Each structure stands twice: as structure tokens, then as C-alpha cells.
Amino acid sequence: MNDNSAPTEGLNTMPPVVDELADPLEADWFSDEADFNVPVRGTIRNGTIASVSRGEILIDIGAKSEGVIASREMESMSREARSRLSVGDEVEVYVVNPEDRDGNIILSIARAEEEIDWRWAESLLESQEVLEGEISGYNKGGLLVQMRRVRGFVPASQLDNIRRDIRYGSSPDERWAHMVGEQIQAKVIEVDRSRNRLILSERAAMKEWREAQKDRLLEELQEGEVRDGRVINLADFGAFVDLGGADGLVHLSELSWKRVAHPREVVNVGDEVKVYVLNVDRERRRIGLSLKRLEPDPWMTIEQTFQVGTLVEGTVTKLTKFGAFARLTGLDDIEGLIHISELSEEHIEHPSEVVSEGQMVTMRVIRIEAQRRRLGLSIKRVDSDEYADADWSDAAVSDTWSSDEESE
């Protein structure tokens, strides 16, 4: 009878075959292997320093074996950096190689720090948050800014107008060297890790910052205040002065009590100045400033200085169809008008027939209107009989003074 046809009901099945030669400890090792978190190349892991020696640092990252910091990185570390690494310290490391030819896990602290900073830069690109850094260097195209352990670049085209205008020459050294060490606010506008490229924009950051600063200044500025500022731009009609986040205009007429043809006669870009707040237009967001209001008004004392009929000397500053303007010697802020009818006894078509710009002339004061800031002068009346007696009296007094001085 065939045994295969025998009934099996009620019989126990055979137990599984066990390899009696298998090592129980080895079996336990393989069963626990899944508990280890196998490192992956290019990832950042938290670890604990297990040992530190002159040529090696072992770090426990929870893998089946401890990871090793490459000897090349150890050699590049400063003594101070190595001294900060102690057994038991927690560190972040970058997995360079999960397993080299010798079965070691190769790790890097420096690469982890750099990777973290690149991720930080990417987060700034996404959030458009304004960051502050220090200008660490420059090249012919712009400024270098150190952002933790990553270096960013601010092209000249992305610099704020204020910084671009404050330059002292055409070479990179002349343009940028004096800015090294200064603080700069910027936004991240491009991150390309494959090309090690991090592009920043001061212009984008400052636009947002200056708007906020201008709002603040417009609220707190009061007419009549005196503020410190810096000249940031010149135009034919005046000078713009930065008050620390917002700029105001010093109109050409408010630069000086004397006649000014262009702002550069009084100020230059980059000059530190004190300005008087003339007006604050909060609706139109405009700030009017003055330089001359901080100086004594020479017109307020002109009537005590001169009288009608006084002989004065001055320099012809400008010729017009209706006459010539002259600046009084010793009083650069005072200009008077020699009307064309007061230039010569003879009829002339244009002042250039009698005087020229830059010429020194003797004139007689014929009209003083201090409130209107007008001073009438005459050349043709210098030798006029009308003032002969007064001139003789003045000459006599002058001679008396001269004699007194000689006797002394």
C-alpha cells in the first residue's frame, strides 16, 4: 500500500527545518540591521562627537558604525576651530560618502555648515526678507558680501543710488575700496548652487526700507527743525539730501544767500551737511530743506553797512539785456544790479559794450531795498557832481584816519 494514500487527519505536521549551523548572534545582528538609519549621500545628519584626535574625529550619527571627518578637512581647520570640538558635543554633519572603499562613512562639518547656509539663502529668496551683512570685498563689477559662510555678490547695477553716487574714481579700488567693512542691507534675487552663485540687490532692499523710513520721518519732522544729512544727488534746480531714510530737496534759491547758478558751487555729492526743515508736505510726501537759513541773512544789516551814495567795489558776475549784476567785494552774499541806463552816460545797446563778466569795477549805491533783497548800483554816477560834496567829506575822514594811524 502506498504511504501517500494513507489518511493524514489528526496527524501533526512536520516542524520547519532549522539550520543548526547558523550563529544565533549573527542572526540577531541581521534582524537588528533595519533599526539603523542608513546614511544617504548629500544629506545632513545630527551627530554626537565620539572621539577627537589630532588626525581624526569620529561622530556617532546612529548608523551601524561611526562616521569619520576626512583628514583633509581636519588639516584645513584652524587650531581654534578644532579646540571647540569636544567629545559629547552635538554637531550637524554632511554625508559625503555613505561607504568608502574601506567601509567608512565619510562626513564633513564644513559642508554641513555651507549646506545649511545655502538653504537659508534659498529661504530668503522665497520670503524676500531683507538681510544685513558686511561688505567683505569687491571686484570690478560690484561688491562682495559675506552671508554666514556663503559669499554673495551685489552687482553695481543692484546698488542703491546713494552708494553708487558716492565714488571717488573710475577704477575698482577708487570706486569700492572705501566701502569695505560697511554694513549693507540687501535682498536675495538669485540662488544657483551648482554655479556657487548668490546674487543680492541693495536697490530692492533699500526701496522698501526707505519707504518705511520716509513714512516715519514725514510723521516726526517739524518745520524749523535742524537735521543732519548727506548730499546724495545734484540737479540743476537744487540738491537732494538724505536725512536717514528719506530725502529732501534744497532748492537752488535755498542753498546760499548769494546768487548760485548750480548746486555744485555750494555742495558736492557725499557732503555731510546740516539743514533747516522749511516745510513738510505729508500728502505729496515732499520735504523742503534749506542751507542758507542756518547762516546770518546779510540783507538784514545792509542798511547799516551802506547808505545811498556810498562808493563800493565789486566784480561783475552776469550780463543781461537790461543790465549787469555785480557782487560786492568782501560781501560774497550780496549782489546788486547795475541797470543798463546806469552803466554809461552814452546810449548803449548791451552791457557788454561797457563791462565784462569777472571785471572789477567801482560803483555807487543808488538804491537799497533790503526787504525785497535789491541793491541798485551805478557806474555812470561814480564821478557825478551830485555826490561830490559827500565824496570830499568821506575823503577828508579817510585822510584823518590815515594821519592818526601814521602818528601812532
Q: In the chain, what are the domains?
A: 39-114 (2.40.50.140), 128-206 (2.40.50.140), 221-294 (2.40.50.140), 298-392 (2.40.50.140)
User: Rounded to the nearest 5°, which phi and psi values hold at 141?
Assistant: -95, -10
Q: Which pLDDT belongs to residue 392?
A: 52
Q: Facing residues of 323 across strands? A: 320, 339
DSSP letters for 169-231: -SSHHHHHGGGTT-EEEEEEEEEEGGGTEEEEEHHHHHHHHHHHHHHHHHHH--TT-EEEEEE
Predicted confidence (pLDDT) at residue 393 exceeds the cutoff of 80: no
Q: Which three cell numbers stand for residue 27?
A: 542572526
Query: If you average pLDDT over every residue of the chain, what do you get?
Result: 81
C-alpha atoms less than 13 angstroms from C-alpha of 350 in its C-beta half-sphere:
7
Q: pLDDT band for 389, please (50, 70, 90 cuts).
A: low
Tell me: the pLDDT tens digits for 297-309?
Answer: 877 778 778 888 8
Q: Compute the average pLDDT of residues 129-147.
A: 90
Q: What are the angstrom distances between the C-alpha of 255 and each of 165, 206, 231, 247, 281?
A: 20, 27, 12, 16, 20
Q: Where are the beta strands (DSSP E) in 282-373?
A: 286-290, 311-320, 323-328, 335-339, 360-369
Cell of 94: 554632511
* Mean pLDDT lowest among 46-60, 146-160, 318-332, 338-352: 46-60
Nearest CA-CA partner of 314 in 355, 359, 279: 359
All three cell numbers of 128, joined, read 524676500
Instruction: Quote the pLDDT of residue 15.
Output: 46
**Long-range CB contacts for residues 350-354, cutoff 8 Å, separation at least 24:** 350/319, 350/321, 351/319, 351/320, 351/323, 351/324, 352/319, 354/324, 354/379
Average pLDDT of the residues in 156-174: 76
Residue among 6, 3, 91, 4 nearest 48 (CA): 91
